[in-house]
Amino acid sequence: MHTSVPKTAAYVLALVMTLSAAAIGNLPLSGQTADTTRWSVSSGQFASAVGGMSLSLVPHIFNINERSPTCAPCDPATLPAFDRWAVSTVSSTWNHASTIAEFGLLAATWNELSRLPNGRKHLAASVEAAAWNYGLTRLAKAAFDRKRPVLYTVDGVAAQARPSSHRSMYSGHTSTAFVLATSYVLSMRHKNGLERFWPLVAAAGVGAMRVAAGKHFPTDVFVGAAMGSGTALVLHRIRF
C-alpha cells in the first residue's frame, strides 16, 4: 500500500520523539556550571511521553471515523466565510516545504535546548510536550471528522478514497511547530527579542504553508497553534 509523504513524516516524527525521550538521560550537559544539579529523565516522565503518544492509536483501536468522506466534491457554501477562500487543490511544493520546515524547527530548537546548562531537563520537557501534542492531535483529527479543502474542489472525487481527507481539524504540522516553539520560548527566558521568539515566527510560517498547500483551512491552523502552545504551557508548568 502506498504511504503518502505527510503520513510517512508523521510516523518518522513519532519515532524521533520516542527515541529522543529514551536517549535524553544519556546526553552530556553542554556548558554545565558547578552549581548545576545533574538531572536525568524519570521513569514517570518517560511513561508520560509514551502514554501521550499512545493516544494516537485510539482512533484505530476503536475505529473512529475510519470510513471515507461522505461527499466529493462537497459544497463550499457549507463552509464558514472565513474558511471558504482557502478552498484549493493540494500544492505538493508547499506541502513538502511545510514538512521540511517542521522538522527543521524540531532540530534547531532541540539542539539549542540541549546546550543549556540544565539542557537535559528542558529538552525532556519539550519532548514530553511534543509527545502529548502528537497523541492529542491524532485523536482530535478523528474526533472532529472535518473535511480537508481538497474535498471541495474538482479533485475531491479522487481524494474521497483516503480517510485522511477528513482529518483537517486541527493542523498537526502547526500544533507540532507551536509546541516546539512555545517550549523553546519558555526555556529561553535569558534571551530577548528575536533571539528568543524566532521559533514562533517560524511556527506561524509553517501554519501559513499548510493553508497555501491546500491541506488545511485557516481555522484548522489557529486551533492547531492554540493547542500546541497550550500543551507546551501545561507541561512546562508541571515540570518547572
209: CATH: 1.20.144
Residue 24 lies in a domain: no
Q: Which pLDDT value is given to residue 4?
A: 47
Residue type present at position 18: T
What is the identity of the amino acid at 9? Answer: A
Domain tally, the chain:
1
CA 159 from centre of chain? 23
The region that residue 138 occupies, defined by phi over 0 for left and psi between -120 and 50 for alpha, beta otherwise, is: alpha
Residue-level pLDDT at 139: 96
Query: Mapped to the 3 state alphabet, what secondary structure does the chain carry?
Result: CCCCHHHHHHHHHHHHHHHHHHHHHHCCCCCCCCCCCCCCCCHHHHHHHHHHHHHHHHHHHCCCCCCCCCCCCCCHHHCCHHHHCCCCCCCHHHHHHHHHHHHHHHHHHHHHHHCCCCHHHHHHHHHHHHHHHHHHHHHHHHHHCCCCHHHHCCCHHHHCCCHHHHCCCCCHHHHHHHHHHHHHHHHCCCCCCHHHHHHHHHHHHHHHHHHHCCCCCHHHHHHHHHHHHHHHHHHHHHHC
Q: Is 74 part of any domain? A: yes
**CA–CA gap between residue 148 and residue 220 (Å, rounded):** 10
Residue 32 in any domain: the answer is no
Low-confidence ranges of the chain (pLDDT < 50): 1-7, 18, 20-36
Domain, as residue range, for 53: 5-14+42-63+70-239
Asked if residue 114 lies in contact with residue 132, where contact means CB atoms within 8 angstroms, the answer is no
Is residue 159 in some structural domain?
yes
Asked whether residue 190 is assigned to any structural domain, the reply reads yes
Radius of gyration of the chain (CA): 19
- What is the structure's pLDDT at 161? 84
Examine residue 28 and state whether it is found in any structural domain, yes or no: no
Predicted pLDDT of residue 239: 93
CA distance 34 to 11: 40
